[in-house]
Amino acid sequence: MTGGTFESVFGAPPEAVGQAPGRVNLLGEHTDYNDGFVLPIAIAQQTRVSVRRNAGPEFRLHAAELDQAVRFTLDAPPAPHFATYVYGCLVQAQGAGAQVPPLDIHVASDVPMGVGLSSSAALEVATLRALRTLLSLDFDDVLIAQLAQRAEIEQAGVRCGILDQMASSLADTRRALLLDTRSLERRFVDLPAGCEILVLDSGVPRALAESGYNARRAECEAAAARLGVASLREVTDPQLLDSLPDPLRRRARHVLTENARVLKAATSSSALDFGELMNASHASLRDDYEVSVAPLDRLVELLQEHPGVYGARLTGAGFGGACVALCREGEWQAIADAVLADYAASGHAGRILVPAPA
């Protein structure tokens, strides 16, 4: 870890600390901004935000891993992108009634960045948790997720759904969180017995993620408008999609089938069935939703071909980043070694993200 501790940077211990995990989404990709269903699980890697009131007038923010420091006030957003997430949470907390004093803020994190494991949501939720403790705010975990999502949309400028923030705020590492993103109703779901999760980074940066993500959102909104519904969640009969022109029909078909896969997985106790649903999700993201890239397809294919793997798919927004596999318990290391060696032979450098490296 670079960049020093809170005390070495600011010369005194913090008054409050907030922690929040990253997440891996097992099923339910690109469904959240369509009011649909998602099935994330928290990962062991966490972001820790420590805070202390300062004499003002500025906020002083230090990010240990990035080795970056920035000063700002709540009147104007700071320039570094990572700082807009923190700034956004402070602004949103203020909007929700908190009196936020000038603070020294220290961020430390081992959540991998830029691979689809929600490092930004972990930063947002940890920031709001630190504020909640410092100021004795009566924000519950759902409100924290909602404020975090608003910060990401309004201050960081990313039109995300609520999957990442709800997962970081409410998921746990042992059971998946089945979430209805329309009502925010949720329950924990056990993974099939005898399974464990492996997440591999494809090593492909998510270059087009932002423009591609916004384009897919716009296509879903256009499809819903043509069908005369508020969101694609309202459509359950696939035949209705026949009236849509391509590519809207395929985009909407992904959303419908993906919602169905989440609901089916949540009631399935069989690893084989769960894995099949993950494989089908990847095919749908690749062919109908078109958010995969060739190296990611290759890595997913290598995982799917391994006898110790029940199913695998890209996870997160796509366009690069990570994939997740449901593996036979006790075999993740052997699977990762074999698959990453084959992946390297095809000219790509992948790495293990989950389980967290020791």
222 vs 338 by CB, closer to ligand GLA: 222
Nearer residue to ligand GLA within complex by CB, 161 or 203: 161
**Given 32, 35, 104, 164, which residue is catalytic?**
164
- The DSSP symbol for 191 reads P
Contact in structure between 197 and 24 (CB atoms under 8 Å) = yes
**CA 27 to CA 39: how far, in whole Å?**
5
Beta strand ranges found along the chain (DSSP E): 16-27, 37-53, 59-63, 68-72, 103-109, 176-180, 186-189, 195-201, 309-314, 322-328, 351-354
Minimum distance, C-beta of residue 206 to ligand GLA, in the bound complex (Å): 10
- DSSP 8-state symbol, 151: I
Residue 145-184 contact track with ligand GLA, rule CB under 6 A, x = bound: ---------------xx-xx--------------------
Among 14, 18, 27, 33, binds ligand GLA (CB under 6 A): 33
Helix (H) or strand (E) holding 340: helix 332-345
The residue among 14 and 311 lying less far from ligand GLA, judged by its C-beta, is: 311
Q: Kindly determine how many residues on this chain lie close enough to bind ligand GLA according to the rule CB under 6 A.
A: 10
Tell me how far, at minimum, the Cβ of 34 lies from ligand GLA, in Å: 9
Token match 């400028």: residue?
A: 157
Contacts of 1 (CB under 8 A, 6+ apart): 64, 65, 108
Cβ nearer to ligand GLA, comparing 38 with 134? 38
Whole-angstrom CA distances from 170 to 40, 69, 298 are 10, 30, 33
Q: Work out which of 32, 104, 219, 342 binds ligand GLA, going by CB under 6 A.
A: 32
Footprint of ligand GLA on residues 257-276 (CB under 6 A)?
none
Residue 347 beta carbon to ligand GLA: minimum distance, rounded to whole angstroms: 27
In sequence order, the 6+-apart residues with CB closer than 8 A to the CB of 281 are: 27, 29, 258, 261, 313
246 included as an active-site residue: no
Given the complex with ligand GLA, which of 45 and 50 has the nearer CB atom? 45
- DSSP label of 33: G
Contact call for residue 220 and ligand GLA (CB under 6 A): no
Question: Which residues contact ligand GLA (rule: CB under 6 A)?
Answer: 29-30, 32-33, 160-161, 163-164, 316-317
Which residues are annotated as catalytic? Answer: 164
